[in-house]
Amino acid sequence: MLKQAPVVLLIEDDNFLGNIYKTKFEMEKFKVIVATDGLEGLEMVKKKKPDIILLDILMPKMDGFEVLSNLKKDKNLVKIPVILLTNLGQKDDVEKGLKLGAVDYLIKAHYKPSETVAKIKSVLQL
């Protein structure tokens, strides 16, 4: 029996970067939903219930930390793993993200999209 493709919600306000990740994940047989700001991302999580969320921090309308803390307060969404994918590399930001409940914290400049895909596969145990 064929298992359904895992659904990744990518919350990223940079369209160029978003498209690079979307393409890479689709090549790896993931279904990708993209939201371009925190508020839209939060709405999509509630509607689509993705398997995992890749979340940028610096975004319009609602930043990633706020999105993450909203997700972790919602008993229907709390179990969805969230990986922060950001350029904010300060130790304080990393600690804050992990304390808020992210399963991992990836700094965009340090991870190629293929490595990000590998990280998601390991979190989802694929």
Distance CA 77, CA 92 (A): 25
* Cβ–Cβ under 8 Å, residues 83 and 102: yes
Question: For position 2, what pLDDT does the model report?
Answer: 44
3-state secondary structure of 23: helix
As a whole number, mean pLDDT of residues 38-43 equals 96
Give the model confidence (pLDDT) of 76-95 as tens digits. 999 999 999 998 888 999 99
Question: For position 88, what pLDDT does the model report?
Answer: 83
CB atoms within 10 A of CB 112: 11
Q: What percent of the chain has pLDDT over 90?
A: 87
109 vs 10, more confident: 10
For residue 22, give both structure tokens: 């979307």
Confidence of residue 52 (pLDDT cuts 50, 70, 90): very high
Q: What mean pLDDT, rounded, does the chain reach?
A: 93
Question: For position 3, what pLDDT does the model report?
Answer: 63
Query: What are the chain's domains?
Result: 7-124 (3.40.50.2300)
Supply the pTM of this predicted model. Answer: 0.93
The CB-side HSE value for 96 (13 A sphere, CA atoms) comes to 14
Burial label for 114, CB within 10 Å (0-12, 13-18, 19+), is exposed
